[in-house]
Amino acid sequence: LNEEQKMAFTILSNHLTGNVPDEEKRPLLMIVTGSGGTGKTKLISTLAADLQSRGQLSSIARTATTGVASCLIGGSTLHSWAGIPARKLSNPFADLSSMLTGDFHQFPPVAQLKKALFSRYPPNTLCELGRFIFERFETVVVLKQQMRIVDETWDVILTRARCGQCTASDIAQIRKLVLVNPQCEVPNFYEDPWTNVVLITPRNCVRSRWNIASIHKHCKASGHILYIATAEDTIGNRPTTNVERLQLARSPTEKTGNLSMKVVLAIGMKIMITENVAPSTNLANGSHGTIKTIVLDPREPSHTPVEINNGVFAINLHYPPSYVTISMSFTDIPQLYSLDEKELPLALLQPLSTIY
């Protein structure tokens, strides 16, 4: 731990172990904040390890607002943890010590575009209660030492951008990262470390096209077959008619569990979990893995792969695969019988849809 982290650790450890003067033996309400990479997660992990060595790990609860964040600290999601009915208590924390960690600058406030953030109406009781609770946190530690970013120039740019204090030089440097900018030093995306980069985009159409291009590139390089599985929909216990299948195909994705009518699969293909399956074992929304095996449905007839692109061979399946196995990048789940460590079986489920 650096000096800033040690200061926060000492405050927390002393309160949790009771090593404080009698006049200070009251619940600790503390905030630890700092930009990304300043060691907030490291602080929590170190505190948990210290308590575990003392046999006192059960005395704390580690929670986060998302599944993947809870995985990083070995905790659970806030929704799955027991809540405290603040509005029914004169003491909203019920004499429990609480520490909030995070960075208020990483995400913008929730608001509609071109709408003011201030309210046109006077504060209601709930707003006043929230402010009252927040102001109870009088112990604050700000972590400033960057532990993740090694490029000092980039670190300074990010620090100023985080606070809305960018200079003209900062803007010029950031614009040089735009690929269509003539001043951009475009890397070779076919060489490491760019061959396995993740594209982050707010547009579904861009994401879909990127995924298709990436899986085609993977199949061409590896020689693996691309399997195309069409949804096997039923209504009740009967198969759908041609008219019903047409209606399903025309339905927006939000009506079909945000899944398309077809799913492409290939051995070695990267996948991401989009549900909090078991955050306590690091299987949460955002966790990554790789398809290791694809087990076809016993009814599936034999096929001859067809070349659908230059060097990409595919098979259109008549039935969805029985299951696939996924090798997770990181998980605490015990090793399952006959499977390798971190390997999990995944059955392809049929989402429920509504026909309009």
Q: Over the Cα atoms of the chain, what is R_g? A: 26
Q: Where are the domains of the chain?
A: 3-143, 204-347
Query: Could you tell me the fold of the domain covering 3-143?
Result: Rossmann fold (3.40.50)
Nearest to 208 by CA among 286, 274, 284, 262: 262
- The 3-state DSSP class for residue 106 equals coil
Location of structure tokens 């532990």: 147
Per the document, the length of the chain is 356
pLDDT at 234: 76
**CB-based burial, 18-40: b 16+ in 10 Å, e otherwise:** eeeeeeeeeebbbbbbbbebbbb
pLDDT at 296: 92
| Torsion 228-232-233-239 (CA) sign | positive
State the pairing for strand pair 288-295/306-309: unpaired
Structure tokens belonging to residue 215: 């899986």
Identity of residue 350: Q
Q: Which residues are paired to 344 by β-bridges? A: 326
Do 319 and 299 touch, CB atoms closer than 8 A?
yes
Do 232 and 350 touch, CB atoms closer than 8 A?
yes
The one-digit pLDDT tens for each residue of the chain (356 residues) are 899 999 999 988 888 777 667 666 788 889 999 888 888 989 988 988 888 888 878 778 788 777 777 777 777 766 666 555 545 556 667 777 888 888 877 666 555 666 665 666 666 677 777 778 888 888 899 998 888 888 889 989 988 888 888 899 999 999 999 989 999 988 888 888 887 788 888 888 888 888 888 899 899 989 999 999 887 777 777 878 888 878 777 777 676 666 677 889 999 998 888 777 777 677 777 788 899 999 999 999 998 999 998 889 999 998 889 888 889 887 777 888 888 888 888 876 544 433 33
pLDDT at 18: 74
pLDDT at 355: 37
pLDDT at 171: 93
